Structure 1
Amino acid sequence: MDVTVHTETQAFAELVRPFYAADPVRHTAALTALRSVEAGGKAGVLASITADARVVGALVWDPPFPATVSGVPATAARQTAEAVAAVGATFGSIRGPRPEAEAFAQAWSAATGMIAEESSSQWLYELGDVLTSPQGVDGRFRPATVGDAERIAEWRQAFAHEAGMRLRRSETSAAVAELIVDRTTCGLWCVADEPVAMATARAPECGMSRISYVYTPPELRGRGYASAVTAAVSQLVRAAGVRHIVLFADRANPISNRIYQRMGFEKQAEHPEYVFAAPGARRLES
């Protein structure tokens, strides 16, 4: 296998997108990163892996997020890590399905001397053939409009803070309004016409859309609102013809995992995240 580190985002995207598109569920995070670096025209690191002139793997790093290694075969981890390290890349973290993530974390440590530590882990789910919406939840669903942008921006900030999630830009109402008028689907669950929960479905990519930013204010939790809005957004996306509907759930949160499974989401793979630090360095908690 040959590993090539790229500098032209557009050419890289055109080269590797068919590889990622062949399994959009497994590569959901990589496809999101690929779209982002293609739109922005810059990236941390882009690498393709070829065999007999055919793309058999890829790595994309869209800072400040972890580099996505779902497309790096375990058998190519060492070669890829060495090629990327040779251009001076300094990953803070990587993520992907466990076999690929473990192999690359070990290879990166060997290539750079950095110490790898598993910081978190998530289950990747895909909605099965049957979506079961929760019953008896007070309220109703409606798609968000630009008039909801300020509230959604506040909730997205709160969600990111609770989840310890990295943000590329501040969640302003103007930025959220752009999402709403784009192909991104933002939905609200409302009681007496007052929003009480939200969920977002990312713009479809290669027949796949990912549910994220599922949020209910703390004082309103435990009433089924998050489940109801997630189911409603999922139904809206499925009705639009999107084949693969996926989401991530924290492996350490048994409640959310049970809820998603009851709704019809099926486990696909565990995706750990590894962070890297110099030997002897004390990793600061975010």
Structure 2
Amino acid sequence: MRSDEGNPGAWQLVGGLDEFLRRAGDFLLSQPVLHTVALRVTDELRKRGPYVYGPREPVFGVLERAGAVTAAFFRTPPHRLQLTPLTGAEAEALADFLAALDEPLPGVSGVHDTAAAFAGAWQRRTGVTTTPYSRQRLYRLGTLTPPEPAPPGRARVAVAADREQVACWYGEFSEEVGAPPAPDGGLGWADDRIAFGGITLWEGPDGPASMAAATPVLAGTVRLADVYTPARLRGRGYAGAVTAAVSRAASAAGAAEVLLFTDLANPTSNALYQRLGYRPVRDFTVYRFEAPATGLTATATP
């Protein structure tokens, strides 16, 4: 708990991405591991425009105390509210601030205590039902420990000829984790990542057997995502091998921190990453909001 728990400061809306980064950029960069989601999303908005995540302009806000930003939020409609870590008093003050705007929210995501505090405050003010939707754990790489022995095959970076395979696996991965399907069958996702070398495949004896995606280096960090092995090839060590390979490549590319999120409902993946040398940082929770029969409305989205 911060020493200023009883003084939540003043929340303010910020007019656009450039202004948000001007005011909150140093704050986000002060803890790039903990603020990885905000840094990645704002980087995508900067590179690809304000509508990359949806049809409406993003919404940004900051909490200032003594002229310095100490917390922030953002939302890319129709997606849920994203929060940096807050004290209980700050979460209550933010709920007051946003409720006054009469803007429905589909949910909230943040470190566990922050998300829970805001969800409770929002429920008390709006009457919505708040339900934990998923629990995730953020890990950072310590000392990489590749699996021994490695499965047969080798790691290689995906190229344009792998586009259809990568898109297919991305679609299967999304379906397994309950994410909405990509409108183009995942081809755009595959193209974007193949273009900067962001997909690593484990080439087994009979062809590609597993994949892992990684972001470019940003603020000294790389984040792994979308580690996927088709069901028929699981249990052979391919996921561990490809994750170790992409982790090693991220460090070689200059990342001071290599990160990944896991679903806490999947003990297999959590155990695998810890065997490879990943260590827990913080737990995050996603809450889904559902509107009451009358009053403020909210559309639940995963």
Alpha-carbon distance in structure 1 between the residues aligned to 2:267 and 2:40 = 26
State which drifts further: 37-46 or 192-201: 37-46
State the partner residue of 1:40. 49
2:100 is aligned, of 86, 97, 104, to 86
Give the counterpart of 2:221 among 208, 214, 227: 208
The equivalent residue for 1:259 is 272
Can you list the C-alpha shifts for 1:217-252, whole angstroms capped at 9, x where unaligned? 111111111111011001000011101111111111
Question: Hey, what's the Cα distance between the residues in 2 that align with 1:254 and 1:143?
Answer: 28
Please name the residue that 1:123 is paired with.
137
- Given the two structures, how large is their TM-score scaled by the length of structure 2? 0.87
Show CA shifts across 1:42-73 (max 9, x none). Answer: 54421111001100000011244432212444
Alpha-carbon distance in 1 for matches of 2:78, 2:242? 29
How many residues end up aligned between the 2 structures?
Answer: 284
Question: 3-state DSSP class of the match of 1:274?
Answer: strand
Q: What is the CA–CA distance in structure 2 between the aligned matches of 1:30 and 1:167, rounded to whole Å?
A: 23
Aligned to 1:230: 243
Amino acid in structure 1 at the alignment position of 2:32? P
Amino acid at match of 2:144: L
Partner of 1:248: 261
Q: Which one-letter code corresponds to 1:26 in the other structure?
A: L
Report the secondary structure of 2:243's partner residue: helix
- How much has 1:110 moved relative to structure 2? 2.3
Residue aligning to 2:54: none
Distance 1:180 1:74, change over 3 A: farther
CA deviation profile, 1:87-144 (whole Å, cap 9, x unmatched):
233221211111111111112222322121111101111101x100112211110011
Partners of 1:5 and 1:83 within 8 A in 2? no
Indicate the residue corresponding to 1:96 in structure 2.
110
- RMSD over aligned Cα atoms: 2.3
The 2-side partners of 1:147 and 1:26 are apart by: 36
Q: Is residue 119 of structure 2 the alignment partner of residue 105 of structure 1?
A: yes
The range that moved more, 6-15 or 189-198, is 6-15
Task: Please tell me whether the aligned partners of residues 5 and 84 of structure 1 are also in contact (alpha carbons under 8 angstroms).
Answer: no
1:86 CA displacement: 2.4
Q: How many Å separate the matches in 2 of 1:64 and 1:189?
A: 35
Q: Distance in 1 between matches of 2:222 and 2:181?
A: 20
**Equivalent residue for 2:282, pick from 254, 269, 273:** 269
Are residues 169 and 104 of structure 1, via their aligned partners in 2, closer, same or farther at CA, if it must alter by over 3 Å?
Answer: farther
Give matches, 1:4-19, under 5 Å: 4-19=12-27
Deviations 1:254-275 (CA, angstroms, capped at 9, x unpaired): 1111111110000111111111
Which of 10, 16, 28 matches 2:36? Answer: 28
Deviates more, 1:250-259 or 1:229-238: 250-259
In 2: Cα distance, 1:169 partner to 1:71 partner: 33
Residues 267 and 273 of structure 1: CA distance in aligned 2, closer, same or farther (over 3 Å)? same
**122, 128, 150: which one pairs with 2:164?**
150
**Paired residue for 2:80?**
66
What letter matches 2:73 in structure 1? L
Q: Is the 8 A contact 1:33 1:61 kept in 2?
A: no
Q: 1:217 aligns with which of 230, 249, 253?
A: 230
Q: CA separation of 1:176/1:263 partners in 2, compared to 1, >3 Å: closer, same or farther?
A: same
Q: Give the direction of change, closer, same or farther, for the CA distance of 1:40–1:25 in structure 2 (3 Å limit).
A: same
How far the C-alpha of 1:40 sits from its partner, in A, is 2.1
In structure 1, what is the Cα distance between the partners aligned to 2:217 and 2:130?
33
Identity of aligned residues (%): 33
